[in-house]
Amino acid sequence: MKRRREGSGAPEWSLTGRCGDDTRAPRTLLPRRRVLGAVARRGLPGVVEASLVPSGIFVVVAAWIGPTAAMLAVLAWGYGAILRRVVRGRSAPSVLVLATFGLTVKTLVGIATGSTFAYFAQPIATTVALAAVFVGSVVVGRPLVARIAHDFCPMAPEVAARPAVVRLFAGLTLLWAGAQLCSAGATFGMLVSLPTTVFVVLKPVATLALSATAVGLTVFLALRTARHEDLVFAAANTR
C-alpha cells in the first residue's frame, strides 16, 4: 500500500479528545514522539523554502549576474513553490504564503529604488506590520495562530473551539508577534552594521534562531494545554 502523500487528502492523524466511555471503535493513539516528528516534517520544509533557499538563491545570482536579477530569481522561487503545490492539488502552507506576499512587496521596492539596502530594509517595516496584524487578530478575537496551527498539527474542530485552546491560540499569537518584533530589531542591527553578503548569510540564521526559540515555547505551551485538556494524538478513522 502506498503511503498517502502529505496534503493529498484528509490528514492521517489529528489532535483530539479521549474517547472516554464511548463504546464505538476508538481511534488508535499515537506516541507523542512520533507525532512531533510528523509535525516537523509538515512544517520544516515550508520554513526552509521560505527562508534558507531564497537566501542561497540571492547570494548565488547576485554574485553571477547582479542584485536585480537576484531579486527576481528569489521572487520566482517563491511563486514557483506555491505553483508546484497548486498543480499537485495541495494547499500551500500559510507560512509560505505570508513569506511570498512579503517577498513580492520588497521586490517591487528593491527594483523601483535600485537599492539592495531598500530591498532588505523594507521587510523590517513589513515584519513590524505583521506583528501588529498578529496583535490585532487577538484584539478582534480571531488569532492568526489558530489558522497557521493547522499547517503543523491537524485538530478536530471541537478541540479548536475549546476555551483553553482558544486562549492558547491567543497567547501564541502574541508570542509570535513578539518574535516578529525581535526579528525586525535584529535584522535592522545587522543591516546597518554588516556588508551585504555577510548580512544575507547571517540574517536567515538569526531569524531561524529566534524562530526556533519561539517554536520551542509554542510546543511547550501546546503540550501543556493538551495535557490539561486531556487531549491525545490519534490516527484518523479509516473506512
pLDDT of residue 208: 79
Amino acid at 175: L
Name which of 62-71, 173-182, 183-192 the model is least confident about. 62-71
Q: Where are the beta strands (DSSP E) in the chain?
A: 13-17, 231-235
Angle (CA) 187-188-194 rounded to 5° is: 85
CB 178 within 8 A of CB 135: no
Q: What is the pLDDT of residues 101-141, one digit of tens each?
A: 878 888 888 888 888 888 888 778 878 888 999 999 999 98
Task: Confirm if 98 and 14 have CB atoms less than 8 A apart.
Answer: no
Give dist(CA 90, CA 229) in Å, integer: 31
Q: Where are the domains of the chain?
A: 27-231
Confidence of residue 212 (pLDDT cuts 50, 70, 90): confident
| Residue 227 in this model has a pLDDT that exceeds 50 | yes
**6 Cβ neighbours under 8 A, 6+ residues apart:** 41, 42, 90
- Check residue 185 and give its pLDDT: 93
Alpha helices in the chain (DSSP H): 32-50, 52-64, 67-87, 94-113, 116-139, 144-152, 157-160, 163-193, 196-228
In which residue are the cell numbers 530589531 written?
185
CB atoms within 10 A of CB 114: 10
What Rg, from alpha-carbon coordinates, does the chain have? Answer: 20
Mean pLDDT over the full length of the chain: 77
Q: Which of 48, 213, 177, 14 is nearest to 169 (CA)?
A: 177
Spatial separation of the C-alpha atoms in residues 21 and 159, rounded to whole Å: 18
Of the two residues 65 and 226, the one the predictor is more confident about is 65
Q: What is the pLDDT of residue 173?
A: 94
